Amino acid sequence: MENEKGESSSTFKMDNSAQERSLPYVPDCYAVPPSYEPRDALDSNSEIVPTIDISRLKSSDDERRGVIQELSSACQRFGFFQGKNGKVLRRSEESISRDNGSDNGGLGRDNLSSRMDKNGMQVMAVNCYPPCPDPTAALGLPPHSDYSCITILLQNLTGLEIFHPSAHGGSGRWVLVPEVKGVLKVHIGDHVEVLSNGLYKSVIHKVTLNEEKTRISLASLHSLGMDDKMSVPYQLVNNENPARYRESSFNDFLDFLVKNDISQGERFIDTLRIKD
């Protein structure tokens, strides 16, 4: 038979997909490599994924300091949080821009906002993940991190998993992000990890598939300009705390994508790390 399970991806055209063929199996060209075989994620209720009411940034000084500490902790531990009351996100960003040095690592209130206002980019990505006959054999997206400052995500179904490196005795564990009505999922990207010199973590995440339902997600990625150089700010570097990342730009990232296969686990930020 012409369409065997092991047929190459070149035989699958956009108008003749595996879903349209109603195949009862996952073709080999869509199967994840052995290194990406889905591991059991922690149940969404057994690992607390931070959910933070960002409207509290508009409250009293004490309340505001408390939520900033929660955001900082989430960005250090997970590189991820779920934000409630997202309708006030823009006003909250404006509020954060008035922070003093103690709130933002000593970089000054305009260190990042001025660069984003001048040359910053926003990329919108709409993804559709059709039902999969065997969700254990394939992934919607392989593990990766975003080359952005932050990514804000909306989804209609669960399926997003984040990697929690300190879980499971320090060996790390995948955590299924629970679906909470009315929240925005906020990913910390590679930019922030570099700009914080490693204090905040760029979250590694993947997308699993559903056997019965189609998952649709809308992602808004916010990053520095195409030619802007991303580097560790000099204010964070001293003899005891040297720069841990090399300088790069979005163009460097695009060159990396051309030359490397991210489906094999290659991450651009790993190439930027300066070894001791």
For the chain, the structural domain boundaries read: 16-97+106-272
Give the span between the Cα atoms of 155 and 125, in whole angstroms: 12
Q: Does domain 16-97+106-272 have CATH number 2.60.120.330?
A: yes
pTM of the model: 0.81
pLDDT at 118 over 90: no
> Could you read off the pLDDT of 122-179 as tens digits, one per residue?
999 999 999 998 888 888 998 999 999 999 999 999 999 999 877 666 677 888 998 8
Low-confidence winner among 34-38, 106-110, 226-230, 242-246 (lowest mean pLDDT)? 106-110
Structural element, H or E, at residue 173: strand 173-176
Local structure of 245: helix, strand or coil: strand
Whole-Å CA distances, 68 to 73, 105, 152, 255: 9, 12, 18, 36
pLDDT confidence band for 265 (50 / 70 / 90): confident
pLDDT at 17: 63
